Amino acid sequence: MTAPAAPAPDEVLVVDADRPRAPGPRPVVDVAVGVLFDRDGRFLLTTRPPGKAYAGHWEFPGGKVEPGETVEQALRRELQEEIGVTIGSAHPWRVLEADYPHARVRLHVCRVFDWRGELQMHEGQAFAWQTLPVTVTPVLPGTWPLLRWMAQEGGPETAQANA
Ligand SMILES: Nc1nc2c([nH]c(=O)n2[C@H]2C[C@H](O)[C@@H](COP(=O)(O)OP(=O)(O)OP(=O)(O)O)O2)c(=O)[nH]1
């Protein structure tokens, strides 16, 4: 069975362009990212755990898609593993390609309105429920475009209506 074609990105971002990359073509790593809303229309940001690239930077929770997984399955697994919540539907929203010194990633950003469970930070992350403009710092470079898209699109009511 052939893998489904990769979706065209809505935007391509080069991060820290002055820092060296491995020479030659680099594989693109698929990442499932969740914009999780609470009942008050706030969204969740978490910090990148110690030991990872850009540790301590704020991002939307998520992680790499494993072979054979759909984006929704990957997001469900990652959110269970990392923050202890079980999600219902994940609504595909946008795709961002980010070229970092450590990796090239394709972020499949989904919106999640339906989830249950108590937040548990299993990897020692900090978390914050946020509205725009966000008050946490530093924000991961590859998270800024998502926040900009949210600002362009309006509040959570608009997000849910368009999901
Ligand atoms: N989760 C998440 N990742 C993001 C965002 N923006 C962004 O550029 N990224 C990038 C950073 C990383 O290069 C990549 C996510 O990979 P990761 O290493 O955190 O994934 P993972 O949890 O599966 O990690 P591991 O199993 O290798 O430890 O996506 C975002 O808002 N959320």
Mean of the pLDDT values across residues 57-69?
98
Mean of the pLDDT values across residues 40-63?
97
**DSSP string across the chain:** -PPPPPPPPSEEEE-STTS---SS--PEEEEEEEEEB-TTS-EEEEEPPTTSTTTT-EE-SEEEPPTT--HHHHHHHHHHHHH--EE---EEEEEEEEE-SS-EEEEEEEEE--EES----TTS--EEEE-SSP--SSBPGGGHHHHHHHHHH-SHHHHHHH-
Quick one: which atom of ligand 1 is closest to the CA of 59? 31
The residues, any chain, with a CB within 8 Å of residue 62's CB and separated by 6 or more, are 31, 32, 33, 34, 74, 75, 78, 79, 107
Binning pLDDT at 50, 70 and 90, where does residue 2 land? low
Mean of the pLDDT values across residues 93-114?
97
Number of domains in the chain: 1
Rounded distance from Cα 160 to ligand 1 centre (Å): 25
pLDDT at 4 over 80: no
Is 130 within the bounds of a domain?
Answer: yes
Is 2 within the bounds of a domain?
Answer: no
Residue 163: its pLDDT value, please?
76
CATH number of the domain that 95 lies in?
A: 3.90.79.10
pLDDT at 1 over 70: no
Is 5 within the bounds of a domain?
Answer: no
Is 6 within the bounds of a domain?
Answer: no
Task: Convert the pLDDT of each residue in 20-39 to its tens digit.
Answer: 998 888 999 999 999 999 99
Is 28 within the bounds of a domain?
Answer: yes
Quick one: which atom of ligand 1 is closest to the CA of 103? 13
Task: Convert the pLDDT of each residue in 128-163 to its tens digit.
Answer: 999 999 999 999 999 999 999 999 997 666 777 777
Domain that holds residue 61: 11-162
Name the closest-CA residue to atom 21, ligand 1. Answer: 63
Residue 109: CB within 6 Å of ligand 1? Answer: no
Check if the beta carbon of residue 147 is closer than 8 Å to that of residue 132: yes
Residue 162: its pLDDT value, please?
76
Rounded distance from Cα 62 to ligand 1 centre (Å): 6
Percentage, residues of the chain above pLDDT 70: 96
Task: Convert the pLDDT of each residue in 108-123 to its tens digit.
Answer: 999 999 999 999 999 9
Check if the beta carbon of residue 141 is closer than 8 Å to that of residue 58: no
Is 1 within the bounds of a domain?
Answer: no
The residues, any chain, with a CB within 8 Å of residue 93's CB and separated by 6 or more, are 35, 109, 110, 111, 149, 163
Residue 140: CB within 6 Å of ligand 1? Answer: yes
Residue 52: CB within 6 Å of ligand 1? Answer: yes
Is 3 within the bounds of a domain?
Answer: no
